[in-house]
Each structure stands twice: as structure tokens, then as C-alpha cells.
């Protein structure tokens, strides 16, 4: 029983540690779902937006992701 309790505790702690990192993405997803909860054609509208979107090369995606991660790290640092 002790092993199970410890395992559950460690799992909960790991989730809490990652929660802050994922919070902006979770809030964005919740907002999108909430704003589109009555849209019966959500899949169609999403596909239309994807097909009509500008092409994004892999290198640009990686650069944007690295920039976002760097920005989040800077914002998380304590200010002196």
C-alpha cells in the first residue's frame, strides 16, 4: 500500500510541476473550445482555415518554438 501511495503522490507532483509550463496552452485551448461550443461546422471551418493558411516551413516553426520557449524562460526568472 505504501508503494501505491508514493507512486500516486509522485505522479501528482509531476503534474503540478508541469502545470505552470502548460498553462498558457491550456487556457488558449479552453478559450477556443468555449468560443466555438455552438459551432456545428467547427471541423469544416478548421479545415478551411488550414487549407487557406500560409505555408510554414519546418525551420520557421522550430525558430518560433525556440523563441517562445526563450521568452517564457525570461519571464519566469525573478527580477532583481
SS3 content of the chain, % helix, strand, coil (to 5): 80, 0, 20
Three-state SS for 54?
A: coil
The pLDDT confidence band at residue 68, using thresholds 50, 70 and 90, is: confident
| pLDDT greater than 70 at residue 63 | yes
The pLDDT confidence band at residue 13, using thresholds 50, 70 and 90, is: confident
Tens-digit pLDDT profile for residues 28-47: 888 988 998 999 998 999 89
Confidence (pLDDT) at 72: 67
In this prediction the pTM is 0.43
Structural domain of 47: 2-76
- The total domain count for the chain is 1
Amino acid at each position: 500500500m505504501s508503494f501505491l501511495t508514493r507512486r500516486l503522490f509522485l505522479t501528482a507532483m509531476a503534474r503540478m510541476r508541469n502545470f505552470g509550463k502548460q498553462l498558457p496552452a491550456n487556457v488558449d485551448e479552453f478559450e477556443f473550445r468555449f468560443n466555438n461550443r455552438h459551432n456545428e461546422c467547427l471541423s469544416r471551418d478548421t479545415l478551411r482555415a488550414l487549407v487557406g493558411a500560409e505555408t510554414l516551413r519546418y525551420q520557421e516553426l522550430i525558430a518560433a518554438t525556440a523563441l517562445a520557449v526563450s521568452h517564457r524562460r525570461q519571464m519566469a526568472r525573478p527580477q532583481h
